[in-house]
Structure 1
């Protein structure tokens, strides 16, 4: 638990703002690339650049070895994350930036469900209600029956499920390996998983496309770094609501750069989902604070 003297809420908010802007940079660059390159090839090049950035940390990590069972979990996570990345790149090239961002907010909700199903975590009524509200938000975004739900929409929903699975594997691995090793092995395993798929559809790549994909890797690395720093200096109840601004930035990017219309239903649905996530986060924090005095009392 974070010591109150170590908490710096404003710094946490600023780091989370940086994280959101970095991830919007990722979506913007992939949207700019569009469908000119096959999905598997674009995803492979993005992760290959990520591996290059992480190479200095990989050699010592591989020499040190891993705990028993870790390699199997790394491999399984690589398969699931590869599927997630393919779905996400496919959706991003075909949907407005704001829509992809809003549907992506389902990830933490699905992680909550997965933790209950696979790790036996207690699914309290408040969590069940929040999950129901988040699903309602997703329906507001997709509006099935009122408009066409395209393969891009289905791909992004699939990406949300696969990313949730990847996060659950990461949670299991957190007791077996360091955070740096988990990130590095994810990048390496996904690159290996994408290699044969990319080779099957390979097309010539221009310098501008390579530069954009290197930028995607750099923005993604920056986003994860900023998020980690935010979590280190401020509680989730402070940083979680800031993630909603990512939808605002994505909407502005789509409108100003790509000429995409502003869909009020996407903003409303995204707001509903992030409200559900923020409520879960706030309630968990309140319960932890209430439990703290009892824990301290046993130590005095």
Structure 2
């Protein structure tokens, strides 16, 4: 996943922020590739559960080092909302990883990148924000790009192609709920509950699906956990260094690295409709980000 809440002090060093964002997309693409490999061999629930154990440990480590410690980070007046956020995100990750095993990295990510458009579309009814006709037009164009990728009327439509769209929709709702929670809670509090609630929920499910893992795959699992922590750390530093509106367009590099990994390692092919549809989605997403920056 290539989006996180901004953290603490804002320095606004845009070049460094861009470099950190690009580095984060490289790490997250690697994480996607490892997730596809492991979830193709073992069940998705166990893979995500172990990944969340390390993520929760990272979150609690950051909270313990912050002023006030874990108690300050965990303090919230909207506990059930924070728990819902954490459960929603871990559910979205399960759907996304399952999509990698069914559709592959390239097609899954090509559809998933429409999530900023879904955030823009849902920000009106969910948060009461104003969505002008230009952004509605961009949302419509982006969804045309999704349809080009999915090809629902071509007679060879694979219903599994809906999986990454469901993942994108869940992530969009997660983003909106996070923005709503930020009206009362700090970034540190939301980040803490993202890891802890997700870990508890995923452990309650994943522990029943435990499978023996080979020594080699334990190495890949360890690398998956390290990449998850590293990616989130890079994002936190990225948003400390620069405004989100300046660096967010570079999150689309995630698709480029994922496509390269899919072709080089998993033998995937970029079909013409996927390339055209992804290009349209990216263009619409960049326009939406630009409009938000202009309005801001």
- Counterpart mapping for 1:131-150 below 5 A: 131-146=139-154, 147-150=156-159
Q: Out of 20, 40, 47, which is 1:35 matched to? A: 40
Q: Out of 173, 187, 212, which is 2:195 matched to? A: 187
Q: Larger Rg: 1 or 2? A: 1
Structure 1: distance between partners of 2:37 and 2:206: 20
Structure 1 unmatched runs, 5+: 289-300
Does residue 20 of the first structure (1) align with residue 28 of the second (2)? Answer: no
TM-score when scaled to structure 1? Answer: 0.86
1:254 to partner: Cα distance? 0.9
Structure 2: distance between partners of 1:223 and 1:264: 30
- 1:45 aligns with 50
Change over 3 Å in CA distance of 1:179–1:207 after alignment to 2 = farther
Q: Out of 263, 269, 273, which is 2:277 matched to? A: 269
Q: Is the 8 A contact 2:56 2:196 kept in 1?
A: yes
Structure 2 unmatched runs, 5+: 1-9
Does residue 166 of the first structure (1) align with residue 174 of the second (2)? Answer: yes
Q: Does the residue aligned with 1:262 lie in a helix, a strand or coil?
A: coil
Q: Is the 8 A contact 1:237 1:278 kept in 2?
A: no
1:224 to partner: Cα distance? 2.9
Does residue 253 of the first structure (1) align with residue 277 of the second (2)? Answer: no
Deviations, residues 143-163 of structure 1 (Å, cap 9, x unaligned): 113233242x22211111111
- 2:205 aligns with 197
Does residue 100 of the first structure (1) align with residue 108 of the second (2)? Answer: yes
Q: Out of 177, 189, 196, which is 2:185 matched to? A: 177
Report how many residues are paired.
Answer: 282
CA RMSD across the alignment: 2.2
Change over 3 Å in CA distance of 1:224–1:108 after alignment to 2 = farther
- Counterpart mapping for 1:50-89 below 5 A: 50-58=55-63, 61-64=69-72, 65-69=74-78, 71-89=79-97
TM-score when scaled to structure 2? Answer: 0.87
